[in-house]
Amino acid sequence: MDGINALLEGFGTALTPVNLLYAFLGVLLGTAIGVLPGIGPAMTIALLLPLTFSLEPTQAFIMFAGIYYGGMYGGSTTSILLNTPGESASVITAIEGNLMAKRGRGAAALATAAIGSFVAGTIGTLGLALLAPQIVKVAVQLGSPDYFAIMMLAFIAVTTVLGSSKIRGLASLGIGLLIGTIGIDPTSGQQRLTLGIPELADGIDVVVVAVGLFAVGEALWVAAHLRRQPVEVIKVKSARMSRDDWRRSWLPWLRGTAIGFPFGAIPAGGAEIPTFLSYATEKKLARHPEDFGKGAIEGVAGPEATNNASAAGGLVPLLTLGIPTTATAAVMLGAFQGFGIQPGPRLLDQQSDLVWALIASLFIGNVILLALNLPLAGMWARLLHIPRPYLYAGILFFASIGAYAANTSTFDLWLLLVIGLLGFFMRRFGLPIVPAIIGIILGPVAEEQLRRALQISNGELSGLYDTWFSKAVYAVALVLLVAPAVIDRVRARRGEPALAHSHANQEGE
Amino acid sequence: MPIVVGFVPTPEGHAALHRAIDEARLRGRRLVVLNASRGDALVDSRYASASDWATVQQTLADSGVEHEVSQAVEARDPADQLLRVAQQTNAELIVIGLRRRTPVGKLIMGSSAQTVLLEADCPVLAVKAAP
């Protein structure tokens, strides 16, 4: 039970006034950016990274954790009131949630989303606290081939499971891996892809890449599609539920948590598949299945709990193995590297104060989020009145400052613009951004493990898969590759519609 | 020489619309109803929703006045769009709704009504909502 003790100590750290303030700031910011479509927690954390390098790492990560969870809460508000999902994880919520709001049950939909997120977030964080030390015990015994296998799994999962097209996912991953290799090769000391430009010898800063792809790319994309017919927002003052709503919601919350957490925890990331699964489950189990399609509360409660549980689950591989499964986790990994902290199985030993304070602040953040969202849901929706030019001017301003501050060089500003254009064209041609980000951040780490594994085996390829663990991981990866095709074929034979994959072009989370 | 009315889905906007119908009937003129947005925010509460707009059209149809309605999303202020329509149609009168604004609110956000009042080439009738 050392996990529990460490967690209590973590609460001690997280409950100091300054850290509480950062947690509060984080969830406030997180909810705000979650409400606004197109701006996600990954972009926000990337924008804040350079500003937080002057803070204690603990404070910075407490704030990032708040943004991560807050984004999940905020996204549901937009989905329900506007039918425009703020985050890709809320796509499913929008289906029943918006129908409920249209029938005047918006308050109940918002309440079940917020309370469900709280329940799932709390159980998920508890799962993280209990699971993390156990996984670390296994993880410290893993060798380079095993790590390389897990990273391959993460790459395959992020390219094939997310988004609508595997080819586009792979292309995006390729772009990411390519950018990741720029700079001096750590093993041989040779310059790679630097084009003779001395500034590129150190590689491209993670901040510049993340901010460029997310913030500048999105800003250019929005600028190109600025005029849009305003959407109708459904007015709801606060969120509350009747006794009947509670009765219908609590089981979907728990089921959603059970579905979401494991999906987040295995490096097969993303909240889209589990939220869809939860929706399908609730539809099948509902006492009034005829309500689905007319605004069933179960269809909001389940997926909303699922996406928060998977957000909590996504922190498990990040904190125990140093492997991100979502864009936000990838940027947080970049933040660890920026603070000079080596993520991986030794993180929990070497930085145990930081990790446990982070986990404790997740519990605290959840409580603050519930308090912020139940009475103020309607107020958050007012953020949608902000004219986009003001919003994106601000984002570009912060992006430029951040990119410049990372190394105080004007070269980085040009780089930011180039990568921003790349981000724009990726959106233009429907390439998902998430695989690129994961490729950039995880690529160099994977390369290091690959070369270490090959050095140990004297260049024999069998060295990559001769442990039982790596074999098992490759088997899982194979299943991930084959299963969707098989499922679709079986469904097609039965005459059922194929699994609905949504939104190749959403910013990930 | 029509009468141009800037409609917003608020009590002021409805007051302006009703007054404009009265004027159109009185003067025997055509009525042009415009509802405009810059379209740069995701949500614009001054852009009439489909149901609001249907109500407006119903009201106009019931009044029996000759009329023309348009909803526009353009890259300029709604006030400028209204002035442009007035100019193009060589309007006899512009009718707008007027609401109470705090000085600070006006300083920060500007006032569409003020723009219309100061820059219109024809008389402007400013209507307040019924108390």
Strands (E), A172-296: 183-184, 191-192
Could you give the CA distance from residue A232 to residue A235 in angstroms, rounded to a whole number?
9
To test the contact with chain A by mutation, choose from B38, B42, B52 the residue with the greatest count of A C-beta atoms within 10 A, namely B42
Number of domains in chain A: 1
Among A82, A232, A389, beta carbon nearest to B40: A389
pLDDT at B123: 94
pLDDT at B92: 93
Among A37, A384, A387, beta carbon nearest to B38: A387
Tell whether A499 is covered by a domain: no
The radius of gyration of chain A from alpha carbons, rounded to an integer in Å, stands at 22
pLDDT at A268: 61
Q: What is the pLDDT of residues B24-83, one digit of tens each?
A: 999 999 999 999 888 778 788 888 888 889 999 999 999 888 999 988 888 788 899 999
Range of the domain at A58: 2-494
Band the pLDDT of B91: cuts 50, 70, 90.
very high
Q: What is the pLDDT of residues A349-378, one digit of tens each?
A: 888 888 899 999 999 999 999 988 888 877
Tell whether A280 is covered by a domain: yes
Tell whether A299 is covered by a domain: yes
Could you give the CA distance from residue A91 to residue A78 in angstroms, rounded to a whole number?
10
Band the pLDDT of A87: cuts 50, 70, 90.
low
CB pairs under 8 A between A and B: 53
Tell whether A488 is covered by a domain: yes
HEC-encoded secondary structure of A271-325: CHHHHHHHHHHHHHHCCCHHHCCCCCCHHHHHHHHHHHHHHHHHHHHHHHHCCCC
The average confidence (pLDDT) of chain B is: 88
Tell whether A61 is covered by a domain: yes
Q: CB of B40 within 8 Å of any CB in chain A?
A: yes
The structural architecture, per CATH, of the domain B3-128 is 3-Layer(aba) Sandwich (3.40)
Band the pLDDT of A247: cuts 50, 70, 90.
confident
Is residue A496 over pLDDT 60? Answer: no
| Yes or no, beta carbons of A227 and B50 under 8 Å apart | no
* Contact of A420 with A216, CB cutoff 8 Å: yes
pLDDT at A25: 93
pLDDT at B109: 67
Tell whether A500 is covered by a domain: no
Tell whether A506 is covered by a domain: no
| Yes or no, beta carbons of A231 and B40 under 8 Å apart | no
Q: What is the pLDDT of residues A98-109, one digit of tens each?
A: 888 888 888 888
Tell whether A216 is covered by a domain: yes
Q: Where are the domains of chain B?
A: 3-128
Which chain B residue is nearest to residue A235, measuring alpha carbons? B45
pLDDT at A269: 56
Of residues A407, A434, A412, A438, the one with CA closest to residue A423? A434
Q: Please give the span between the terminal C-alpha atoms of chain A, in angstroms, as a whole number.
A: 32
Could you give phi then psi for residue B56, rounded to 5 degrees?
-60, -45
Would you state the structure tokens that stand for residue A230, as one six-digit string? 């305003």
